[in-house]
Copies of this chain bind each other. A is one copy, B any other.
Amino acid sequence: MTGTRQLRELTNDEALHRLGSVPFGRVVFSQNAMPAIRPVNHVVDGGAVIIRTHLGAALLRSVGVVVAYEADAIDADTRLGWSVIITGYARRVQEAGEVRRYEEMLQPWVDGAMNQLIRIRPRMINGFELVEAREEVVVT
């Protein structure tokens, strides 16, 4: 049996670096006033997360909606790993050069899914690492 773990907070730079090291995560938003979540692949570019998915009418109007984005890599056996959550406005990428560039960087994994190219620029970054419990680690 594995022991319990402690949380070590990641700095913003560490957190964005981890996020950029994995190909997919989960976008979290409100849909008809209900919490919704959708797995999607991503790239990190210029400190922002870029995804291709359809988040509904608010984004079509370019208003932007507040979303969260989460990625993690946690080993179920050792219970070691990390999770990063960013929160910020999701806005459509519409500038033609950026659209071309990101569409090349970011191939949809699923056929035929209607999608928008979306940038999530973090207002808040929360990252933690699960480390083996030791007394000198601060529990948050």
Instruction: Report A's interface with B, CB cutoff 8 A.
Output: 4-7, 22-24, 26, 28-30, 34-39, 66-68, 70, 72, 74, 76, 79, 83, 85, 87, 107-113, 130, 133, 139
Chain B contacts of A39 at CB under 8 A? 70, 72, 74, 83
Tallying the copies of this chain within the complex gives 2
Interface of A (DSSP majority class): strand
Chain B contacts of A111 at CB under 8 A? 4-6, 133, 139
Q: Are B76 and A22 in contact (CB under 8 A)?
A: yes
Q: Are B37 and A70 in contact (CB under 8 A)?
A: yes
Partner of A4, one of B74, B87, B110: B110
Q: Are B5 and A109 in contact (CB under 8 A)?
A: yes
Name the residue in A39, A72, A113, A130 with the highest tally of chain B Cβ atoms < 10 Å from its Cβ.
A39
Q: A5-B111, A111-B133, A130-B109 are in contact. Are A37 and B29 (CB under 8 A)?
A: no
Name the residue in A7, A26, A109, A112 with the highest tally of chain B Cβ atoms < 10 Å from its Cβ.
A109
Q: Report the nearest B residue to A2, measured CB to CB.
A: B109
Q: Are A68 and B34 in contact (CB under 8 A)?
A: yes
Q: Are B85 and A110 in contact (CB under 8 A)?
A: no
